[in-house]
Amino acid sequence: MSQIALPYFAKGEVVKGFGRGSRELGCPTANYPEDVVKKLPNEIECGVYFGVASVDKGEVHDMVLSIGYNPFYNGTVRTMETHVLHTFENDFYGKELRVVLLGFIRPQIKFNSLEEFKQKLREDIAYASNELQKPEYVKYKNDSFFTD
């Protein structure tokens, strides 16, 4: 994965996904529409990333983001699914989600079980939370991208 493509800034309207993040994984995700996914540079490969995100120019939170085809579910459409590390009172379909991808965690994996998948998600979130404490990443929470 080319680090040259990072940080990568993306924004778009949150659309309904498959509903598996909340229902099956206990990890709600905000999905971008296809046009946002198609704008990704070729250097940004399928995998799990960490960064920061904001809904409707609100508070900036840490996040993890999956880019790819959801191999556990035999997906055929490339998606960008963001898990914001914050508990929201309501869903935010139709709202604008802004994200900054700052680092790569791992490539996509086809897991053998739902429990294995859920465990890896917990590890990804812990890794992201730790990395995002570093000064070189914390500064992005105040980036003008989130307020312009």
Structure tokens at 45: 């490969």
Give the residue numbers annotated as catalytic, written as ranges: 81
Q: Give the containing element (helix H, strand E) for 96.
A: strand 96-106
In whole angstroms, what is the distance from residue 147 CA to residue 124 CA?
A: 28
Bridge partners, 82 (sequence order)? 30, 65
How is 3-17 classified by DSSP, letter by letter?
A: GGG-SEEEEEE-B--
User: In one letter, which amino acid is 117?
Assistant: F
Nearest Cα to 108, choosing from 143, 81, 70, 136?
70
Distances (CA, A) of 8 to 4, 11, 42: 9, 10, 12
